[in-house]
Amino acid sequence: MTVARFWREIPQRYNLVGTKCETCGAVFFPPRTLCPHCRRDGKIVPCKFSGKGKVMTYSVIHSASDQYFDLKPYVLAIIELEEGTRVTSHVICEPDDVYIGMPVKSVFRVLDCDGPDGVIHYGTKFTSDV
Ligand SMILES: [Zn+2]
């Protein structure tokens, strides 16, 4: 089993976790500790997101920085999650295949690798959920 596959099979560690204001129901990702609507009256609790959402808008990136060189062109999108909050993320698909409103789901992937024996960063990306 590869290392990447090993990590992907521990989903609870890598689900999208943000926060939620129980007072007004607003959800936050990345997590916030203060509700901008309720301020000190807001009761903030952890919130696990389903990871399902849809593409609100996107860009196809043709000139990537060195660490993403192998990925270009790639799709960077603003995704609205089912819970109502938005996240900017890489979408794994052909640039011609992405469209506004495309259903997507979060997946766990290697984000980048700092050199041959360097640190490997893992994180959330999105793929088509059609
Ligand atoms: Zn609130």
Secondary structure element (H or E) that encloses residue 5, with its range: helix 3-8
pLDDT of the residue at 21: 95
CA of 15 relative to ligand 1 center, distance in Å: 23
Average pLDDT, the chain: 82
Range of the domain at 59: 51-128
Q: Which tens digit of pLDDT belongs to each residue from 14-63?
A: 567 888 999 999 998 878 899 999 999 999 998 888 889 999 999 998 87
CA of 26 relative to ligand 1 center, distance in Å: 6
Flag whether pLDDT at 120 surpasses 70.
no
Q: Is residue 23 part of a domain?
A: no
CA of 43 relative to ligand 1 center, distance in Å: 7
Domains in the chain: how many in total? 1
List CB-based neighbours of ion ligand 1 within 5 Å.
Answer: 21, 23-24, 26, 35, 37-38, 42
Q: Is residue 36 part of a domain?
A: no
Sequence letter at residue 91: V
Q: Could you give the CA distance from residue 33 to residue 41 in angstroms, rounded to a whole number?
A: 12
Regarding pTM above 0.85, the answer is: no
Q: Is residue 10 part of a domain?
A: no
CA of 44 relative to ligand 1 center, distance in Å: 8
pLDDT of the residue at 116: 67
Q: Which tens digit of pLDDT belongs to each residue from 61-87?
A: 887 666 666 667 889 999 999 988 888
Find the CATH number of the domain harbouring 110: 2.40.50
CB atoms within 10 A of CB 75: 23
Q: Is residue 88 part of a domain?
A: yes
Q: Could you give the CA distance from residue 92 to residue 110 in angstroms, rounded to a whole number?
A: 12
pLDDT of the residue at 71: 67
Q: Is residue 39 part of a domain?
A: no
